[in-house]
Chains A and B, each alone.
Chain A
Amino acid sequence: METRSQIHARTFVKVWTGFVVFALYLPILCGALAGLSKGRYFGFPIKVFSTEWWGKTIASLEIQTLVQNSLLIAFIVTLVSVFFAFFGALAFARYDWKGRRLFQKAILLPVFFPQPVLGLALLLWFNAIGINPSWQTAVIAHLVWIVPVVTLVIAIQVYSFDPTLEEAARDLGASRWFILKEITLPILWPGIWSGALFAFLLSWGNFPLSLYTAGVDSTIPKWLYSKMVAGYSPMVPALGTMSTLSAATLLLAGGLVIMILRRRQRDL
């Protein structure tokens, strides 16, 4: 039986959470409205809705290049970071080795670091060793921040995995490669998928690192920023909304895959 004060607390927490979620999505909603209103300038309440700016945005060649850049960077970052982070997570959570505690803390440092400063430091470093910033250097910058995040995501899955399974296979004479392929990888699949999803989406939406390390190449967030400071164009909220919707779609699809993988694993 709940006491009166418990009911009060429960109501308060629910209302508060609802309010914060609403505030979280309110600006995204405002952007969507602005992108769908007719006319060059934004005013609320919106008088006429139209898809004019969406059409112009999709037709723009400049924006097609941006999308290609953003996609290419996100794909490479995802592939490389999942590979690095898979082994990194095993070193983080599974194997007992002398430097493990130190490694666990060192890997957190790029996450516990202001990204604009990281981007500027990388820019300085690339210049110092004579590399011209371009989308390739942006890939490296993204990796420095995203690999640690993906390592943590996969490590959480590694923690839930029973090491005696690997040991049993080894005692039965299985080779290291066989154990990796038949035991470790299948158990870690949900974590690896989550990590890949994180990597792609974080790279897709990253702004501070791309701003300083992509050189003359532009990504969607970087281009949006340059237009934001240059004055208002309805293409900014239109492209912003499109980018958000693509991320949401990918998150839903990816989440579904991960749920299916988890369910299948439970049934085994």
Chain B
Amino acid sequence: MSAITSSATSSAQATGERAAGPAIPVGLRAASPVILLLVLGFLAPLVTVAAYAFATPKSFDVFRSFTLANFAAIVEPSNTVWTSFVWSLCFALATTVLLAIIAYPIAYGLNRMFGKWAGLVSVLFVFPLFVSENVRLYGWVLFFIKNGVMDGALKWLGFSGGPEVLYTPGATLFGMLYVYLPFMLFPMSLGLAMVPRDLVDAARDLGAGRLMIWREIELPLAMPGILIGMLLTFVLGAGAIAESKILGGQSVITIAQDIEIAFTYAQNWPLGSALALLLVVIVSGLALFMLSKLDLDRILGRR
């Protein structure tokens, strides 16, 4: 009886909705402002970039010319732009691997050890995200520079002064590790939160060793979060620019900087677009592949 009434009300409601407006599902209606924003603010710029990538070099003939000359210029051996690609992708990879190692103990501590302090520790890691990266990187310049905090402190202690680390490729990598740490830590921590405690306890009671528990239970179950963290770090690292400009002193030219130069000083939009398109294809290909394997409902907490 109650089933009949409820189905009757729901069908009445469905007809009522249909009468009120066109038959668009409520979910799509709720999503439509965001979809509109993404189409106009994300998809359209990318389409423009793609269109410019096939335009005549050093022109503004978008949609009126079609040529592969920009891509030919990139792969030409005399052009060194491919080294920027290699640097950026290598640095992004190194950042991803090193940050996975650096962040894992902290993510583990946030889930298992810090107890009531976990909230405070999380806030300490979130806050730097709200300070723009150039300000934080500039702080490192003041730390590493000659007569800066490190150098001055060492001299004050009677040493001959600090090593020269600023404006080297290593400084760029260091800056990337510093800036992208939270992007690795939080997805990883969400991933570790998905590991049921009793499963680990049960394995221990059955005599599994630490390493075995980690390899057979914790790592596989936390993997979705770890993968998101790694993906995010890699993608953001591949587009890094401020780190090499501020800390690295442009000892390494990243791919994002080459794109910037083509768009601004060189006024060669088609070449810049071709570079950007290649980067976007690499980055979004990876992102789409990984995201297609993940269940976001489970990671974000739908029961």
Q: Which of A24, A29, A85, A251 has the most CB of B within 10 A?
A: A24
A120's contact among B109, B272, B302, by CB below 8 Å, is which? B272
Task: Give A120's nearest chain B residue, CB to CB.
Answer: B263
A106 to B152, CA, bound (A): 50
B277-291 Cβ-contact flags toward A at 8 Å (1 or 0): 001100110011001
A50 to B247, CA, bound (A): 27
A42 contact set on B, CB distance < 8 A: 142, 145, 147-148
Query: Known: A121-B276, A124-B49, A228-B246. Contact between A144 and B42, CB under 8 A?
Result: yes
Q: Is A17 in contact with B296, judged by CB distance below 8 angstroms?
A: no
Task: Give B153's nearest chain A residue, CB to CB.
Answer: A44
Judged by a CB distance under 8 angstroms, whether B136 is at the interface is yes
Which residues of chain A from 1 to 43 have any CB-CB distance to chain B below 8 Å in the complex?
Answer: 5, 10, 12-14, 16-17, 20-21, 23-31, 33-34, 42-43
A136 contact set on B, CB distance < 8 A: none
Which residues of chain B from 1 to 43 have any CB-CB distance to chain A below 8 Å in the complex?
Answer: 6, 9, 13, 25-28, 30-35, 37-38, 41-42
B256's contact among A28, A99, A114, by CB below 8 Å, is which? A114
Judged by a CB distance under 8 angstroms, whether B240 is at the interface is yes
Judged by a CB distance under 8 angstroms, whether A218 is at the interface is no
A20 to B121, CA, bound (A): 11
B251 to chain A, nearest CB (A): 15
Q: Which of B27, B32, B34 has the most CB of A within 10 A?
A: B34
Q: Is A156 in contact with B143, judged by CB distance below 8 angstroms?
A: no
Chain B: residues with Cβ within 8 Å of the partner, total of 95
Q: Is B256 in contact with A17, judged by CB distance below 8 angstroms?
A: no
Contact residues on A (Cβ < 8 Å of other chain), bracket: 35 or more
Q: Is A152 in contact with B27, judged by CB distance below 8 angstroms?
A: no
Judged by a CB distance under 8 angstroms, whether B238 is at the interface is yes
B125's contact among A21, A112, A125, by CB below 8 Å, is which? A21
Judged by a CB distance under 8 angstroms, whether A169 is at the interface is no
A108-127 Cβ-contact flags toward B at 8 Å (1 or 0): 11111111111011111100
Query: Known: A13-B113, A30-B149. Contact between A91 and B9, CB under 8 A?
Result: no
Q: Is B291 in contact with A113, judged by CB distance below 8 angstroms?
A: no
B34's contact among A84, A141, A247, by CB below 8 Å, is which? A84
Q: Is A116 in contact with B239, judged by CB distance below 8 angstroms?
A: yes
Judged by a CB distance under 8 angstroms, whether A178 is at the interface is no
Judged by a CB distance under 8 angstroms, whether A264 is at the interface is no
B132's contact among A23, A141, A207, by CB below 8 Å, is which? A207
Which residues of chain B from 45 to 86 have any CB-CB distance to chain A below 8 Å in the complex?
Answer: 45-46, 48-49, 52, 62
Q: Is A17 in contact with B105, judged by CB distance below 8 angstroms?
A: yes
Q: Is A202 in contact with B296, judged by CB distance below 8 angstroms?
A: no
Query: Known: A16-B106, A43-B147. Contact between A120 and B38, CB under 8 A?
Result: no
Task: Give B156's nearest chain A residue, CB to CB.
Answer: A45
Q: Is B130 in contact with A251, judged by CB distance below 8 angstroms?
A: yes
Q: Is B41 in contact with A27, judged by CB distance below 8 angstroms?
A: no
Q: Is B178 in contact with A23, judged by CB distance below 8 angstroms?
A: yes
Q: Is A21 in contact with B121, judged by CB distance below 8 angstroms?
A: yes
Q: Which of B44, B52, B131 has the most CB of A within 10 A?
A: B131
Interface of B (DSSP majority class): helix
Binds A, one of B163-171, B195-203, B218-226, B228-236: B228-236
A91 to B52, CA, bound (A): 34
Q: Is B48 in contact with A128, judged by CB distance below 8 angstroms?
A: yes
B290 to chain A, nearest CB (A): 9
Query: Known: A42-B147, A109-B42. Contact between A237 and B127, CB under 8 A?
Result: no
Which residues of chain A from 194 to 232 have any CB-CB distance to chain B below 8 Å in the complex?
Answer: 201-202, 204-208, 212, 220-221, 224-225, 228-229
Q: Is A112 in contact with B287, judged by CB distance below 8 angstroms?
A: yes
A243 contact set on B, CB distance < 8 A: 131-132, 135
Task: Give A110's nearest chain B residue, CB to CB.
Answer: B42
A255 to B124, CA, bound (A): 13
Judged by a CB distance under 8 angstroms, whether B292 is at the interface is yes
Q: Is A208 in contact with B242, judged by CB distance below 8 angstroms?
A: yes
B279 contact set on A, CB distance < 8 A: 114, 117
B108 contact set on A, CB distance < 8 A: 13
A117's contact among B136, B181, B256, by CB below 8 Å, is which? B256
Q: Is A88 in contact with B34, judged by CB distance below 8 angstroms?
A: yes
A155 to B301, CA, bound (A): 9
Q: Is A155 in contact with B138, judged by CB distance below 8 angstroms?
A: no
Q: Is A26 in contact with B139, judged by CB distance below 8 angstroms?
A: yes
A35-62 Cβ-contact flags toward B at 8 Å (1 or 0): 0000000111100000000000000000
Query: Known: A27-B136, A44-B148, A88-B31. Contact between A205 and B156, CB under 8 A?
Result: no
A152 to B9, CA, bound (A): 33
A-B contact pairs, 13 of them (CB 8 A): A23-B178, A26-B143, A27-B139, A30-B148, A97-B31, A107-B34, A114-B235, A115-B239, A117-B239, A121-B46, A202-B129, A204-B130, A255-B123
Closest 3 CB pairs of A and B: A114-B239, A27-B139, A97-B27
Task: Apart from A31-B142, A224-B134, list 14 A-B contacts with CB within 8 A.
Answer: A12-B105, A27-B142, A87-B34, A105-B296, A112-B291, A113-B280, A114-B235, A114-B236, A116-B260, A124-B49, A144-B41, A221-B134, A224-B135, A255-B123
